[in-house]
Amino acid sequence: MARPQLAFVPEEKLLAHEEVVPPKVDELLAVLRQEGAIRLAIVADERTLVVLDGHHRLTALRRLGAKRIPVLLVDYDSPDIRVGTWRPGEEPPTKDEVVAHARAGKLFPPKSTRHFFPWKLQEEPVPLAELM
């Protein structure tokens, strides 16, 4: 699977599946304001627009009033994308459960999922002004 190209998605179309840690969002907001740019894109499923990576970044951008979000759109059905968890001893949800929770607005606790991609996330700074 090749690394996806950067796209810009209307913020209201992206669906979270996981809660965030508010102090982490506050820290990220401070960095975004200081730098005037976001360095890493959000990763989302191209079909459902469920966020797979970047819930804290998305929340921070929404709080700043961003209308467009830099997103790497991926095929979540691909076997090259795996889901795990950051929580030791816990069984990760399935991909179907991730999508179902997002569609229902029933968010998992923070750091319940950890997605593995066949490529590395790379910094592609996008000025905040381009997102408003």
Q: Give the range of the structural domain holding residue 26, as residue numbers without chain letter.
A: 6-125
User: Is 71 part of a structural domain of the chain?
Assistant: yes
What per-residue confidence (pLDDT) applies to 3? Answer: 76
**pLDDT tens digits, one per residue of 7-45:** 999 999 999 999 999 999 999 999 999 999 999 999 999
Q: Please state the domain count of the chain.
A: 1
- Its pTM stands at 0.93
User: Is 131 part of a structural domain of the chain?
Assistant: no
User: Is 53 part of a structural domain of the chain?
Assistant: yes
Q: What is the CATH number of the domain that holds 70?
A: 3.90.1530.10
How many angstroms separate the CA atoms of 124 and 45, rounded? 19
User: Is 26 part of a structural domain of the chain?
Assistant: yes
The residues annotated as belonging to the active site are 18
Q: In the sheet that 68-74 helps form, which strands lie side by side, from edge to edge?
A: 6-10, 68-74, 42-45, 51-53
User: Is 76 part of a structural domain of the chain?
Assistant: yes
User: Is 35 part of a structural domain of the chain?
Assistant: yes
**pLDDT tens digits, one per residue of 105-126:** 999 999 899 999 999 888 999 9
